[in-house]
Structure formats: structure tokens, C-alpha cells
Amino acid sequence: MSRSLEKSCNITIFGGGNGAHVLSGLSSDVVNANVTVVDTFQDEAERWTKAMAANGFTVKYGNGKDLVQAPGKPKFTVTKEVQKNVEKADVVILCMPAFLHEMVLTSVAPYVPETCPIVGLPGQPGFEYQALFHLRQNGKKGSVMSIETLPWACRIAKYGQEVDVIGTKECIYFSSVDQQSSGYVGAGLVQLIQTLLGAKPVLKREENIIKYTFLYRPTVHPPLMYAKWKNWDGKPLDAAPLFYQGADEEAVKYLDGATNEMIKIADFLQTKYPDMDFSGISSMQDCFIGEYPEQIKDKSTLLSCLKTNQAYDGLVHPMKKTDDGKFVPDFKYRYLMEDVPYGLLIIKQIAEMAGVATPIIDEIILWAQTKLDAEYLKDGKLCFVDRKHGRIPMAFGIKTLEEFVNYCK
Ligand SMILES: NC(=O)c1ccc[n+]([C@@H]2O[C@H](COP(=O)([O-])OP(=O)(O)OC[C@H]3O[C@@H](n4cnc5c(N)ncnc54)[C@H](O)[C@@H]3O)[C@@H](O)[C@H]2O)c1
């Protein structure tokens, strides 16, 4: 069944990677959606435009329901031009890794129409206050919507031409801050984004902005990386080790340890703010079972959940190949590069503001910062991290829990 919007809507998508490919193919299939992709990275816009003209554009699902756009008849355009496409936008969507958000928001905010919403798809922890910061600095009143994660597991098969959707999530959370009441706002904005995505995943609103930060769970990838590589002797490996299914008791100790610290912070906040809802931040084991009810064969322990989850078949640690064909870990991959400065550090500042100790999270951050050539923690305290290199609340002037909650209103 075709999807349609009631009236014509200019959708400007920023990005050029896997997710941006799926989103542009999917949303340009909606009647009345005028989609422009802005991709300023290297020569991607040119390559994408050429590939589409010659070969068309396909979003492949592998179930016979592929979305196919014929060669020479693309339903969307790809360009490097920021100002013109932001000025005419009814909604701006960022679909890219979090470390690019600061650069893109800086270039978008001066030109975005006064009530045009900005959507992070995904936004990930801290997107709300970062986008609000840029909008407010430029006197803009658009809404900000932050979607917790990408709706699909997806990989580009042929750049600018074909992308594979490996899986689509059933349901994802979002947070949203409405600064005004006109244009796409509130339920109207949610309906717009849901129409672009289709029936799945179902978008579910999380009202509590602090709890939303926990739901992203930056306590998965960094603990698994830490457990695997903290004692690595530096010698290249013959093959890339399994990421989830290669976990051991040490990995469980850090996964559970970091997650339980997050639950401890949530429990503390629930007592301090009885009117806010901090429920539902489950243990790591329950979280995996909730996400993969069918695929996990042995649900008895956290370790068995990791080892017997068929969705994780074949997923390996991020590695770089050496000249002689061996493998070394890639510490600059998103598992650390995104999930520490755009995840774990935000949890750490919330813990500091709440006065809750987090020894396991600290241990992981202290190791990760040596791999990311950064200094995030010193003498047990979080250091200031500038906005270009992380998204901790203090970089946006937020120093207390009250300021955090009030900023995102
Ligand atoms: N792809 C997935 O299956 C998946 C699943 C869950 C979550 N995510 C998350 O969703 C987000 C988007 O993922 P993705 O796979 O689409 O990203 P991606 O890795 O495909 O993004 C790469 C793109 O980012 C842009 N880029 C990279 N470096 C840049 C630079 N220095 N300057 C300007 N642009 C640059 C380029 O357009 C590049 O093609 C990420 O946060 C990722 O962690 C992805």
C-alpha cells in the first residue's frame, strides 16, 4: 500500500552512509514527500547522483518487496548545497554517526526556517540539548526529535545505487522537545516521521529526557571492547574474533557491572524525583531477551544469551587488516568512538550530578580514553570535553540535573 502525506512537504536529509541510503529511498517513495539529500562529504554527492542516473536506486529487503527507482528517474536528488536546501525545508533529518552532528548543526541552524523541526535519526544521547543549543543560538523555535537508534540494520551494497536492509526493528523510542506550536510539531511531527518510515518500527515516545539517555544503552559495546582488549599484548591475530558470541565471564562482569551502575543511578533519581518515571531500565540479560525473544536459544544466563543469539551469528570485533593479512583491533570504530563520547560520558556526568559512584564505568572510560587519544576522566572526575569531541552536558552549559531537565523543555 502506498504511503502519502496530506500536503507537499520538503524533506532535507543530511547524510551519505548506510542509513541515509535507506531513508532517502524509503521516504522518497511517499506521495507528496519532496526529498533532497545533502551530502557534503568528499565526492559522495557526485558519485551518488551519477550512480542513480545510470543504474537507478534500490532498497533491498530480500523478501520480494524491494523499493526500486528506475535509472534516470530518481525520486530524490543528492547535492552538496546546504543553504538553499535548508532554507526551503519543512523538516531537516540528520542520518549519520553522532560525531558529525556538531558540524552539521552548526551549518544548518543559521538557515533553517524559524519553525522547522530538526530530527536526529538516530539522535542518540544528548542530541536534544545539542540541537536546541544551536537553534536557540540562532533564535529559532523548531522542535527537536531524537530517535534512539537507526530503524534498520543496513549496509550499502553499491554506493548510490543499492542498499541492503538486513533487519527492521519492531519498535524504537524517541524523545521530543517542542518549542512552539506551528509547523510540524508534537503528534504531527511524529506522524510525518512514522509515514516516512512505514509501519515498522513503531515510534514510541519517552517523556523523561534523562531516562531516554539510559535507554540507548552505551553500556553494551564499550564493556565488550574493554573485556576483550584490555590485556591485549599488541600481537596481530590470524582472524577477527567474534564480538558477542566470543564473550566470556570477564565480558559479563563488565557488561553487568556498567549496566547495574546505570540502574543504580536511575533508582537514585527515582527517589529524588518521585514525579518522574525511571522504571523499565532492565538488566542486560532482560534487555537482550526483550530485543531478541525468538533468536536467543538459551536464555538462562547473560553469557548464554550472548553466545546463542542467532542475530549475532558471524558478527566480529571491528578490526583493521595488517599488510601481512593479519588483524588488529580498530579502536576508532563506532563501538568506542561513538559510544564513549556520545554515550558513556553522558551517563557519567548524570552520575556525577546525582552523586552516584560508578567505578566500573570509570574503569572502562579510563581505558577507552587511551585508545581514543583523549582525556575524559582525571583524578576520578569528568573533564570538560569540547563540543567538537563529545556531547557531555557541561559542554552546553548544563551542570545540574535541574538544568538538564529544564534545558530540554
Ligand atoms: N548501519 C547500521 O546497521 C546501524 C545500526 C544501528 C545503529 N547505527 C547507527 O546509526 C548511525 C548512522 O549509521 P550509518 O551506518 O548510516 O553510518 P555510516 O557509517 O554509513 O556513515 C558514514 C557516512 O558518514 C559521513 N561521514 C563520515 N565521515 C565524515 C566526515 N569526516 N565528514 C563528513 N561526513 C562524514 C559520510 O557520508 C559517510 O558515507 C550511526 O550512529 C550508527 O552507529 C547504524
pLDDT tens for each residue of 232-243? 999 999 999 999
Quote the ligand 1 centre to 18 CA distance (angstroms).
6
Quote the ligand 1 centre to 251 CA distance (angstroms).
26
pLDDT at 1 (0 to 100): 63
350 is a domain residue: yes
- Render pLDDT for 284-340 as a digit per residue (tens, 0 to 9): 999 999 888 898 999 999 999 999 999 899 899 999 999 999 999 999 999 999 999
Domain containing residue 114: CATH number: 3.40.50.720
212 is a domain residue: no
- What is the grid cell recorded at 325? 593479512
Please classify residue 333 by burial: count the beta carbons closer than 10 Å to its beta carbon, then call 0-12 exposed, 13-18 middle and 19+ buried.
middle
Tally of domains within the chain: 2
How far is 229 from 231, CA to CA, in rounded Å? 5
Whether 261 contacts 360, CB under 8 Å: yes
- The residue annotated as part of the active site, out of 21, 221, 317, 389, is 221
- Render pLDDT for 335-382 as a digit per residue (tens, 0 to 9): 999 999 999 999 999 999 999 999 999 999 999 999 999 999 999 999
- Render pLDDT for 105-163 as a digit per residue (tens, 0 to 9): 999 999 999 999 999 999 999 999 999 999 999 999 999 999 999 999 899 999 999 99
| 251 sits in which H/E element | helix 249-272
- Render pLDDT for 63-83 as a digit per residue (tens, 0 to 9): 888 999 999 889 999 999 999
- Domain end among 171, 205, 239: 205
**Alpha-carbon torsion angle 212, 213, 219, 222, nearest 10:** 140
Which residues constitute the domain of residue 75? 4-205
Mark whether 243 and 389 lie in a shared domain. Answer: yes
pLDDT at 291 (0 to 100): 84
How far is 97 from 333, CA to CA, in rounded Å? 11
Q: Whose CA is nearest to atom 29 of ligand 1?
A: 41
pLDDT at 407 (0 to 100): 87
Question: Which residue, chain included where needed, has cell 500536503?
Answer: 7
Mark whether 97 and 246 lie in a shared domain. Answer: no
- Domain end among 205, 240, 271: 205
How far is 37 from 48, CA to CA, in rounded Å? 10
Q: Whose CA is nearest to atom 42 of ligand 1?
A: 97
Amino acid 4 reads S
pLDDT class of 17 with cuts at 50, 70, 90: very high
Mark whether 231 and 113 lie in a shared domain. Answer: no
**Alpha-carbon torsion angle 191, 148, 244, 16, nearest 10:** 80
Whether 391 contacts 309, CB under 8 Å: no
- Domain end among 205, 238, 259: 205
Mark whether 172 and 236 lie in a shared domain. Answer: no
pLDDT at 167 (0 to 100): 86
For 163, residues 6+ apart whose C-beta sits below 8 A from its C-beta are: 18, 21, 22, 25, 58, 59, 60, 154, 155, 156, 157
35 is a domain residue: yes
Mark whether 105 and 126 lie in a shared domain. Answer: yes
Q: Whose CA is nearest to atom 33 of ligand 1?
A: 41
380 is a domain residue: yes
58 is a domain residue: yes
Domain containing residue 290: CATH number: 1.10.1040.10
Residue ranges around ligand 1 (CB below 6 Å): 15-20, 39, 41, 44, 96-98, 100, 122, 149-150, 153-154, 334, 338
pLDDT at 329 (0 to 100): 98
What percent of the chain lies above the pLDDT cut of 90? 88
210 is a domain residue: no
Q: What's CA 94's distance to the chain center, in Å? A: 10
